[in-house]
A and B are shown apart, each in its own frame.
Chain A
Amino acid sequence: MIATKIIGRGVLAAAVLALSSATLVPSPAPQAAQTIAVNDTAVLEQRLPRKLSDFGFFQNGVQQVPAANVVPYRLNIPLYSDGAEKLRFMYLPAGLQAIGGGEGLLELPVGAALIKTFAFGEGDDRQLIETRVLLRRADGWLALPYKWNDEQTDARLAIAGARVDLTTPAGEDISYRVPNKNQCKECHGVDGEVVPIGPKARNLSADWLEDLAGAGKLNAVPDGHDQLPLWENRETADVTATARGYLDVNCAHCHRPGATASNSGLDLRWEQDDPHALGVNKRPVAAGRGSGGHLFDIVPGDADSSIMTFRMRSDEAGVAMPELGKTTIDQDGADIVTRWIEEMQ
């Protein structure tokens, strides 16, 4: 496979090489012989491109083989999305650079795009469900959801969202939710602006950043990069770092000042150090039945009495957290947060 969710150094190096040499990733696929360029007009100007293929991000959509200047990446800790396999790509137009900004988000130039495909099923049974794109336009970021057709030939703009019946890797039959355009903004909004969430330097690998910088696509590897533990190492990694990383990635896009859940006063960002802002002995504000009858977001040493884990372990609308982007309970995520709370003094 050319593009998989695990982007090792070798694959990335190949992709970056492809960027610099204007050739494509070596591939057994026949499409590899053909150069597909991203349609910059679609990224920059076309109001609401109706089809994912309008952008030309992929030389092979169903195999998720990226076009020139489209680089795959992974995050150390990912956002949970019902166990979907997620394929992430960053498009940087030829000659343009990302700028490192400390441990936070890479600053991407106008004309850049972030692309994330959600898939379920293994091997030949893999079905692409949706691809979400974030387009860096002159007037800011635009977030759009595209839903793949059954034939897997293309994805269409699903501006009002959609529901898809599928089975998760954990074997649960669910009605999977493709978010609508507004819901994109509910998670991606800070102070009224749409912003990316994922590609923060602290959650990106040193290798990937170095390769990107080496290829001239990043001005410099930013300080504070690669801090979050790898999610697959969560059993052995530092519990606090893993749990805080998980909360940063899965919760803090809403639970931070200026974002959707700002009025809760709960701030779950990685850089927040005030225990009370993180929920320790913090009373709920507008939780309603989401409190589960508990008095505090986090009771140190007692996850069973903590609202945070109660809501993470619910799959009921109106109680479950996060409110959007997932239907099932992230058992692994809830477990690491539970361990963190249990070990808290």
Chain B
Amino acid sequence: MMSKLNMACLVSSIALLAAQPAYAEVITVEAGEGEQERLQEALILAEPGDEVVLGEGVFTLTDGLSLDVDGVTVRGAGMDKTILDFSEQQDAGEGLLVTSDNVTLRDFGVENTRGDGIKSKGADDIVYYNLRVEWTGGPLETNGAYAVYPVESSNVLIDSVVVRGASDAGIYVGQSKNIIVRNSVAEYNVAGIEIENSREARVTGNYVSHNTGGILVFDLPNLPVMGGGDVLVDHNIVINNDVPNFAPAGNIVAGVPMGSGIMVMANENVSLEHNVVDGNATAAVIVVAYTQSYEDDRYNPFPRNVFVSNSNQFGHNGYAPDLPGGGMLAVAVGGAIPTIMWDGLGENAVVTNGGVAALSLGYTKQGQGPESAAPDIVTDTLPVAAAATGATIPMQHSAEMEARARP
């Protein structure tokens, strides 16, 4: 049943010519015969302010869905009750694509898309709430790259989502600004959560486990938006990231060592506070310059002012670094890599407020490989500051956006 459309049919196409109603409508779409067309039609014909309500059950979808109307809410009956199943998907690069502003996606699950799960591009003020995006066959190279994928957007709120199985990043926010990712679960992905080429981001209160790497904060060259920074990673549980890397070669995350807790590459003003980081075999925290060759005059490949607070709780990490010669390296420094593994590049790259153990690999130039590393414990030589400086980070979003992320 799709009440709005049926009504439109009943009163014939004249209804389509009529002035648009000033009030928001609720358009209900149930699973079953014709669900692909009915659901897509609802997403196309929705008006700003409308709510498209998805019934309980499994929607079997053969093509990617898309939403291009501002101010629409798509609401299911729960992340395990309303399921958009893309196992039979035949085209499009993602399951659901959102290209409009002020959209709320909530309370449904997305399974087994052929490419990315949910992508929002140029979609400002978007709220992802209580969603599950999953490849149900576990971590496989044939899974799509990103589960939740906002890009080129301002004001992004991701709250209480569950992502599993992404062959790149479970939650990936790229080329965006003013971002909060919170209270979410990322498991069995290559990267649990990744903030890339973005500014003003807070990653807080997430449970990030059984990925290859837990939380990544990266900046890459040659993209339309660069200069990532001003990122706060706080109050996350980053434990037992122990899945072998299953990213297809060619992707930057294919180089992430198994058991990387929190990894920062070529960013500025990144602050790690009050996290619990335990059971990550390579290192709790990795801070590095961009590892590959590049040609881009606009790009700064070095990490700058990455603040690792002693308010974090670091457990047993770094005991089996997934690096060439990693075993010997661990033995050489007393059996385990210290909390921070830094490649040694960048001025004021790593800052602490004291008491956080750090290893420098002693690299002398960007793009250097580990074979020429000159490791050294640098715990006592890192710059010390009381807190992170220079970062402008959203603690929460506007009241209007926050209201869209409530039960």
Contacts and interface: CB of A to CB of B under 8 A. Distances in A.
Contact of A327 (B36, B67, B91): B91
A265 B224 contact: yes
Interface of B: 13, 16-17, 36-38, 40-41, 43-45, 62-63, 66-68, 89-93, 97, 99, 113-116, 121-122, 141-146, 149, 151-152, 167-168, 172, 174-175, 220, 222-225, 247-252, 292, 295
Interface of A: 46-48, 50, 159-163, 175, 177, 180-183, 185-186, 189, 192, 257, 260, 262-263, 265, 276, 282-296, 307, 316-318, 323-324, 327
A174 B57 CA distance: 29
Given A182-B44, A186-B66, A262-B152, A323 B91 contact: yes
Contact of A284 (B43, B90, B251): B251
A317 B90 contact: yes
Contacts of B225: 263
Contacts of A183: 66, 92
Given A287-B250, A323-B92, A182 B168 contact: no
A116 B92 CA distance: 22
A316 B247 CA distance: 18
Contact of B248 (A46, A291, A323): A291
A192 B222 contact: no
A260 B251 contact: no
- Main SS of the interface on chain B? loop
B249 A294 contact: yes
Q: Which 7 residue pairs spanning A and B have beta carbons closest together?
A: A288-B145, A291-B250, A318-B114, A318-B115, A317-B114, A160-B40, A182-B66
Nearest to A162: B37
A50 B16 CA distance: 10
Given A287-B250, A289-B167, A265 B223 contact: yes
A288 B248 contact: yes
Contacts of A290: 115, 145, 248
17 contacts: A46-B17, A161-B63, A163-B63, A180-B63, A182-B66, A182-B67, A192-B122, A262-B152, A282-B222, A284-B251, A286-B146, A287-B250, A289-B167, A290-B248, A292-B250, A317-B90, A323-B93
B132 to A, nearest CB: 19
A295 B252 CA distance: 9
Given A159-B41, A180-B40, A186-B66, A317 B248 contact: no
Contacts of A324: 91-92
A189 B100 CA distance: 12
B248 A318 contact: no
Contacts of A293: 248-250
A100 B247 CA distance: 48
Given A180-B66, A284-B250, A284-B251, A327 B90 contact: yes
Contacts of A276: 222, 295
Contacts of A284: 250-251
Nearest to B67: A182
A6 B168 CA distance: 46
A146 to B, nearest CB: 14
A318 B250 contact: no
A263 B222 contact: no
A263 B37 contact: no
Contacts, number: 146
Contacts of B115: 288, 290, 317-318, 323
A92 B171 CA distance: 48
Nearest to A180: B40
A265, A276, A285, A292 interface centre (most CB from chain B within 10 Å) = A285
A286 B38 CA distance: 30
Given A262-B152, A286-B174, A163 B44 contact: no
Nearest to B249: A293
Given A263-B224, A293-B248, A160 B145 contact: no
A32 B89 CA distance: 45
B249 A291 contact: yes
Contact of A287 (B37, B63, B145): B145
A180 B67 CA distance: 11
Contacts of B222: 265, 276, 282-283
Contacts of B175: 263
A263 B152 contact: yes
Nearest to B13: A50
B174 A263 contact: yes
A31 B174 CA distance: 56
A306 to B, nearest CB: 11
Contacts of B16: 47-48, 50
Given A182-B66, A263-B175, A285 B223 contact: yes
Nearest to A254: B93
Given A182-B67, A287-B250, A317-B89, A47 B44 contact: no
Nearest to A189: B99
A187 to B, nearest CB: 12
B95 to A, nearest CB: 10
Contacts of B122: 192
Contacts of A283: 222, 250, 252, 292
A177 B36 CA distance: 13
B250 A182 contact: no
A181 to B, nearest CB: 5
A293 to B, nearest CB: 4
B80 to A, nearest CB: 24
Given A283-B292, A291-B251, A160 B144 contact: no
A288 B115 CA distance: 8
